[in-house]
Amino acid sequence: MGKMIKISEFIGKHIAIIVLLIALFSLLFPNNFLWIKTSCINYLLMVIMFGMGLTLKSDDFIPVFSHPKEIFCGAASQYLVMPLLAFGLSRLFHLDFALTAGVILVGACPGGTASNVITYLSKGDVALSVCMTSVNTLLSPVLTPLITYLMLKTTVETNVWAMFTGIINVILVPVILGIIVNKFFSDFTKKITGILPAISVIAISFVIASVVSHNAEKILSAGGIILLIVILHNISGYIIGFFAGKLLKLNNAKIKAFSIEIGMQNSGLAVSLANTTFPTTPEAAVPGAIFSVWHNISGAILANIYRRRDSKRESN
């Protein structure tokens, strides 16, 4: 077990390099990774969420619900700042309607499951991240269509039931099961806690390989402008979330959760909405497809930065 923990620590310290290499190989040699079906992504995320649950206790959620202003401010940032930022970037780079629609759909979507994974890898407040994702997703059937209509004068339909069951199946059930196992088998969970980050990094690497390989053609043909806009939108979200957490005087773990949750959108939902709302303009789905790749890469890099920052603080 000692060797496995050391390997896990090594993987945790080099998340960014591992993820970048996986993304690069998947992009250049997509055929080698097509065996990782996109239908497996949710199952991989469920494994990671279960691992998160093993590190949590039910008491960890009490502070979150006792300070609802954090969730409220997170929702406000998610549905006000990020769509406006998407709109501003679209105008700044003079995108056509289809690509503008795709970028705005990304900005108007709630945080995705990946934000919980990256918060966990960053050693952030997972309980806060899970609650923010859940609340923002439940608000999305109303706010996402409203924001899209105000900015594009076009209505979109969101499948409320599918989104709700997605939250339950992919996030809540695995986390709750992990908490239960941790409660009744705490000795066992203490022994394996050290290797859980490695399992999470391996799982997220499979997710990235799947997403990149199945979207390699779109990514390579999209052009640098869309990639640049996606990167700017994502990194700006991280920065806005970080300083919003500072203004709210949150602790370090909560600031990390806040930053990641606001910076990472549910790109899968954005792609789905683009395909159903703009079926005659497939380009509208490109920003969401690229974002689904990029945010996993940037999230892993950010997790690495946060972990190194914490290590320096501890050593000092």
Its pTM surpasses 0.85: no
- As a whole number, mean pLDDT of residues 19-34 equals 81
Q: How many domains does the chain fold into?
A: 1
CATH code at 169?
1.20.1530.20
Could you read off the pLDDT of 130-172 as tens digits, one per residue? Answer: 888 878 877 877 888 888 888 887 655 555 566 566 667 777 7
Could you read off the pLDDT of 250-285 as tens digits, one per residue? Answer: 888 899 999 998 998 877 777 777 777 776 666 777
Q: Find the domain containing 25 and state its range.
A: 2-315
SS (H, E, C) the chain: CHHHHHHHHHHHHCHHHHHHHHHHHHHHCHHHCCCCCHHHHHHHHHHHHHHHHHCCCHHHHHHHHHCHHHHHHHHHHHHHHHHHHHHHHHHHCCCCHHHHHHHHHHHHCCCCHHHHHHHHHCCCCHHHHHHHHHHHHHHHHHHHHHHHHHHHCCCCCCCHHHHHHHHHHHHHHHHHHHHHHHHHCHHHHHHHHHHHHHHHHHHHHHHHHHHHHHHHHHHHHHCHHHHHHHHHHHHHHHHHHHHHHHHCCCCHHHHHHHHHHHHCCCHHHHHHHHHHHCCCCHHHHHHHHHHHHHHHHHHHHHHHHHHHHHHHHHHC
- Give the pLDDT of residue 242: 92
